[in-house]
């Protein structure tokens, strides 16, 4: 049975609350220009060193440094924008085409039972880098949560990010 608690006052509070999205919060160096993704792109480091596994015309695929599971990647536009409506038509088309190909590559490499694909737009929605939208592609397996997550909030990842990046980069080469 669903319990409901009416809190009509909440609407006024939420719509009147000041915006608390601080792009600097997603940056380890507040003085650095751009999001963490922009800084990676501008770093001059190799794709292997940054775990970028694929580049398309307007976006790239990068391994998540803090993955939920092995094979968790992000599809990110090169251009730093916060919301989908800020993308050009070409960027939108390329982003979703790359997401579709990424799903196929992750399925081929990891053989998951399912996948989560999604965006968190804005800090209140869970966006940890709210100034640079990115699409999560997360492989999932039946029973992939275990007592470690439930009891000690600890993940057990059986593969290093370097191995994940190498596998996905090789798969993109033949995709």
Measure the CA–CA gap between 11 and 13, rounded to whole angstroms: 5
Q: Which residues of the chain have pLDDT under 70?
A: 1-32, 145-158, 175
In a domain, 117, yes or no: yes
**Residue 99 sits in a domain of what CATH number?**
3.30.428.10
Q: What is the pLDDT of residue 31?
A: 53
Burial class (CB in 10 A: 0-12, 13-18, 19+), 164: buried
In a domain, 121, yes or no: yes
In a domain, 1, yes or no: no
Q: What is the pLDDT of residue 130?
A: 84
Q: What is the pLDDT of residue 49?
A: 92
Q: What is the pLDDT of residue 155?
A: 55
In a domain, 94, yes or no: yes
Q: 155: domain range? A: 32-174
Q: What is the pLDDT of residue 22?
A: 37
Q: What is the pLDDT of residue 24?
A: 40
Q: Enumerate the β-bridge partners of residue 114.
A: 140
Give this prediction's pTM. 0.77
Phi, psi for 21 (deg, rounded to 5): -80, 115
| 148, 154 Cβ separation under 8 angstroms | yes
Measure the CA–CA gap between 111 and 171, rounded to whole angstroms: 13
In a domain, 8, yes or no: no
In a domain, 143, yes or no: yes
Measure the CA–CA gap between 123 and 121, rounded to whole angstroms: 7
In a domain, 46, yes or no: yes
In a domain, 60, yes or no: yes
How many independent structural domains does the chain possess?
Answer: 1
Mean pLDDT of the chain: 80
Which of the following is catalytic: 51, 54, 72, 134? 134
Q: What is the pLDDT of residue 136?
A: 94
Is residue 134 flagged as an active site residue? yes
């Amino acid at each position: 049975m669903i319990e409901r608690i009416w809190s009509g006052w909440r609407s006024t509070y939420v719509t009147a609350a000041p915006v608390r999205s601080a792009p600097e919060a997603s940056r380890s160096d507040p003085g650095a220009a751009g999001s963490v993704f922009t800084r990676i792109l501008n770093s001059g480091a190799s794709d292997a060193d940054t775990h970028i596994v694929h580049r398309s015309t307007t976006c790239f695929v990068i391994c998540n440094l803090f993955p939920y599971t092995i094979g968790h990647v992000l599809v990110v536009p090169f251009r730093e924008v916060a919301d989908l409506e800020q993308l050009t038509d070409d960027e939108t088309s390329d982003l979703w085409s790359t997401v579709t190909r990424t799903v196929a590559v992750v399925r081929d490499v990891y053989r998951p039972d399912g996948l989560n694909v999604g965006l968190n737009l804005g800090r209140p929605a869970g966006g940890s880098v709210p100034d640079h939208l990115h699409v999560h592609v997360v492989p999932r397996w039946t029973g992939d949560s275990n007592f470690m997550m439930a009891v000690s909030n600890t993940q057990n990842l059986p593969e290093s990010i370097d191995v994940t990046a190498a596998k996905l980069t090789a798969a993109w080469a033949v995709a």
